[in-house]
Amino acid sequence: MRSVWQIDGEDVVTLQGNSAEFVRLVNALLAAQGRAAGVPDAVIRLNQKDTAADGGVDAAVDQAIATASDPTGRFSVPTCWQYKAQPTSNIKPKKGPPYTQEAALREEVAKPYASELIKKGYGYLFCIADDMPPTTKADWERWLTDEARKLKSDAPEAQVLTASDLAQWINRYPAVVLRLRPGVTPLKPFDEWAAEVRALTKDHVKTAGWPQVAAAVKSHIDFGRRVDTALVVQGEAGVGKTRTILRGVGGRPGHGSPGRRHERRARRP
């Protein structure tokens, strides 16, 4: 039985015809990868207006990501991204003849903004909400690369990301998986959960050893480190497990903060 925290290509294929949601999904994936790699938000440029003319670029990442922080191998150079929430059979040229997929893909690379970025050394990535045989994918990448190298002779090889490619990548980030698994579990935003925890335990006392547990939690949720999937925190009821986890998570940038004004500690007798 497949885990609720895992998707496959068929889940991504369900977004065919829903351009806005496909854009949101791939944007969320790029943002997650950037944060995991410690890339500044400012260098990840995302466009949600899927109905607006984009010059052939739906997103751009303006700096390379170091190999050690890039398990995908897709960010060795700055990159520009084009998204298509379509089946492969819908990839057709707007100009013509010839009315072939090759002509359609070459048109994509030749669009104004895509051309501009490729000339600057950006790699070109084409994301589609469909799967295809390996031989077809190889043909598509060859055509895209050939067109890119008409613009810049040493342009990086173009890459095609199919529905299954995207699913494999998305599975690294459970928060992105949830975009295709809505309602799978009663997850809540951190601040909402934190408020509930504080309301339940308004009075609490730090106990020996729990600062080290909070530090372990902080380390565990550092996306820049490799860790085991689960961190087990156990102890008797009422010793402060939940509150300590709150402290550990709340100390990370972007996860909210426990905030002293929300705390009321019990005084020792």
Listed by start position, the domains of the chain span 9-180, 190-265
* pLDDT value of residue 263: 32
What pLDDT is stored for residue 170 in this prediction? 95
For 251-263, the pLDDT digits (tens) are 554 454 433 333 3
Q: 106 and 96 in contact (C-beta within 8 Å)?
A: no
Residue 84 three-state SS: strand
Q: pTM for this one?
A: 0.72
pLDDT confidence tier of residue 52, bands split at 50, 70 and 90: low
**For residue 183, how many other CB atoms are within 10 A of its CB?**
7
d(CA 254, CA 211): 21
Range with the poorest average pLDDT among 146-160, 214-228, 243-257: 243-257
Q: With the C-alpha atoms ordered 21, 182, 255, 35, is the resulting torsion angle positive or negative?
A: negative
Among 158-162, 210-214, 245-249, 256-260, the range scoring the smallest mean pLDDT is 256-260
Mention every residue, 6+ apart, whose C-beta is less than 8 A from residue 30: 44, 46, 59, 61, 81
Residue type for position 14 = T
For residues 155 and 146, give the distance between their C-alpha atoms in angstroms, rounded to a whole number: 9
What is the enclosing helix (H) or strand (E) of 102?
helix 101-110
The winner for highest mean pLDDT among 84-93, 237-246, 254-263 is 84-93
Q: Which residue has tokens 């070109």?
A: 124
> Which single residue is written with the structure tokens 């295809």?
132
Helix (H) or strand (E) holding 61: strand 59-61
* Strand pairing class (203-204; 264-265): parallel
- Those residues whose C-beta lies under 8 Å from the C-beta of residue 31, and which sit 6 or more positions away, are 41, 44, 46
How distant is the alpha carbon of residue 238 from its chain centre?
37
Q: What is the mean pLDDT of the chain?
A: 84
Identify whether the C-beta of residue 112 lies closer than 8 Å to the C-beta of residue 56.
yes
Q: Residue 229 — very low, low, confident or very high, per pLDDT cuts 50/70/90?
A: low
How many CB atoms lie under 10 A from the CB of residue 131?
A: 19
Note the pLDDT of residue 188: 64
Q: Give the pLDDT confidence score for residue 262 in this predicted structure.
A: 33
Q: What is the pLDDT of residues 116-138, one digit of tens each?
A: 999 999 999 999 999 999 999 99
* Cβ neighbours around 85 below 10 Å, total: 23
The C-alpha atoms of residue 49 and residue 55 are separated, in whole angstroms, by: 12
HSE value, Cβ hemisphere, 13 Å, CA-based, for 181 = 20
Question: Hey, how many other C-beta atoms are within 10 angstroms of the C-beta on 174?
Answer: 16
Closest CA to 147 of 124, 128, 131, 127: 124
The whole-number pLDDT of residue 247 equals 76
Residue whose C-alpha is closest to residue 79's, from 106, 45, 111: 45
